Structure 1
Amino acid sequence: MVDRKDIGSWLEGPGARTGSSSAYPGERLGMPRAGAGSMGRFGRRLVGVVIDWVLCSLIATALFRVPLPFTAVATGSQSLIVLGIFALENLLLVGTLGSTLGHRVVGLRVLSADGAAARPFQVLVRTILLALFLPAMFWDKDGRGLHDKAAGTVIVRT
């Protein structure tokens, strides 16, 4: 019988079939195990995106009278307004400061995979894919989402 580990995943990279693994997320990228500069883990990233989404929902409510997600069901166009504000927030803040408000609260920063600040094109690609949501749901052994892999970015702890 063929098992998933026999086939491997293209997201897991070249070591998937050989069974070589790293001791901790980010080791293959030359990052420390813990502390500043280590990989931002799923829990922190999830809290950060929830903070960003709530803030964007509040902005949409204030500017466009979109109902808050926990008070009423928004229509499709109202949900797109919140998504547009979320994408704009990511594009502007990650492009200039290296992090969104939610990232800053939980101590995360978006960098290029080479350790430099994320470049404008990387931020654009990352934002477009993040707005599609689906790429963010798939990640590799290092915890990098498909949107980060495609953009050549990584989320690290500050």
Structure 2
Amino acid sequence: MIDRRDLSSWISGPPTEPGHYPGRGLGLPRTGRGSIARPGRRVVALCIDWAACLLISTAFFHGNSSATLGIFALEQMVLVGTVGYSLGHRALGLKVVRLGGAPAGILAAIVRTVLLCLVIPAVVFDADQRGLHDKAARTVLVRL
């Protein structure tokens, strides 16, 4: 018979050992510049990006949802791939970088964006608060 102890390894939440914080396993600081972006900032940045893309879609494509998603994907690929942040990221002081701190680059931005647009990879994350889209692209969203 299966009981709670059998499932606890994957539903018990983040590690609780002393000194653990998101980003520690990646060598990032606990707080301040270069620390992992927290979920609240991520969600607000996403809302800003989506709102901007929806405005453009409404103006040129009558709010077509496919057009909005396409504009969002284009924004993410171009801006994250070139300058490292989208409009929402910049407004909230966030940046996408490779694990070593180098710029994300176009290829990583494309991989990250395709998975971000699928939604599920973005909401499944690890103890370091990196979504599957960031893990696949070998990137991390950090504070500026």
* TM-score, normalized by the shorter chain, greater than 0.5: yes
What's 2:55 paired with?
58
**Pairwise CA distance, 1:80:** 1.0
What's 1:99 paired with?
85
**Pairwise CA distance, 1:20:** 5.8
Amino acid at match of 1:3: D
What's 1:24 paired with?
21
What's 2:96 paired with?
110
What's 2:71 paired with?
85
C-alpha distance in 2 between matches for 1:87 and 1:121: 13
**Pairwise CA distance, 1:134:** 1.1
- The TM-score with structure 1 as length reference comes to 0.82
Consecutive unaligned residues in structure 2, runs of 5 or more = none
Consecutive unaligned residues in structure 1, runs of 5 or more = 67-77
Amino acid at match of 1:49: L
What's 2:135 paired with?
149
Q: How many residues align?
A: 139
**Percent same amino acid among aligned pairs?**
50
Cα distance 1:38–1:130, how it changes in 2: closer, same or farther (>3 A)?
A: same
C-alpha distance in 1 between matches for 2:24 and 2:81: 26
**Pairwise CA distance, 1:56:** 0.2
* Residue from 32, 36, 41 that aligns with 1:35: 32
Amino acid at match of 1:44: R
- The TM-score with structure 2 as length reference comes to 0.90
C-alpha distance in 2 between matches for 1:157 and 1:36: 5
Partners of 1:22 and 1:28 within 8 A in 2: no
Amino acid at match of 1:4: L
- Superposition misfits of 4+ residues, deviation over 2 angstroms: 1-6, 19-22
Per-residue deviation, residues 64-112 of structure 1 (Å, max 9, x unmatched): 122xxxxxxxxxxx21110000000000000111000000001100001
Partners of 1:139 and 1:146 within 8 A in 2: yes
Per-residue deviation, residues 31-54 of structure 1 (Å, max 9, x unmatched): 011000000000000000000000
C-alpha distance in 1 between matches for 2:90 and 2:134: 18
Report the aligned-residue RMSD.
Answer: 1.8
